[in-house]
Amino acid sequence: MIAPLIIYPIAKYSFGLESPITLYPIVFGTTIVWLIVTYLTKPVDENKLIQFYTQTFPGGIGWKRISEKVGKIKSEMNFGKAFINWVLGVVLVYSFLFGLGSLLFGFYSNLAIYSVLALISAVVIYKNLSTT
């Protein structure tokens, strides 16, 4: 998180790069930093990973070693509901942001539309999480 704050001024003032070109050295440099930090720091305790796995049921090949140790666990999470909540979460955040912009610029009809979208999204997410 600190790496971009260091890389940006170097890219801008030492090399004269302007936005959006500064994005390239920031992404590249930050990736190098997090890879170095990842390999130099101590891994998380395996018991903590097992506890996390049994609570959240993450998927993917990165969790294969832990899932083999834990064995078959039936997830209580419905993937369809999780996907719908994810999509509606994106709609909720963007509706709120664009609604706030509409309020600031006085586009009240747009504000009403974004507010309704945000409210519907929030209600559906709440209902989905309440029934899980």
Sequence ranges of the domains in the chain: 1-41, 44-73, 79-130
- The percentage of residues in the chain with a pLDDT greater than 70, rounded to a whole number, is 96
Q: What is the pLDDT at residue 76? A: 61
Asked if residue 78 has pLDDT above 80, the reply is no
What gap in Å lies between CA 75 and CA 72, rounded to an integer? 9
Over the chain, what is the mean pLDDT? 92
- Give whichever of 27-31, 48-52, 66-70 has the largest mean pLDDT: 27-31
User: Is cis: bond before 20, omega within 30 of 0?
Assistant: yes
What gap in Å lies between CA 112 and CA 26, rounded to an integer? 38
Q: What element of type H or E holds 42?
A: none
Over range 114-122, report the average pLDDT. 98
The residue assigned the tokens 């940006």 is 8
State pLDDT tens for residues 21-36.
Answer: 999 999 999 999 999 9
Single pTM value for the model: 0.54
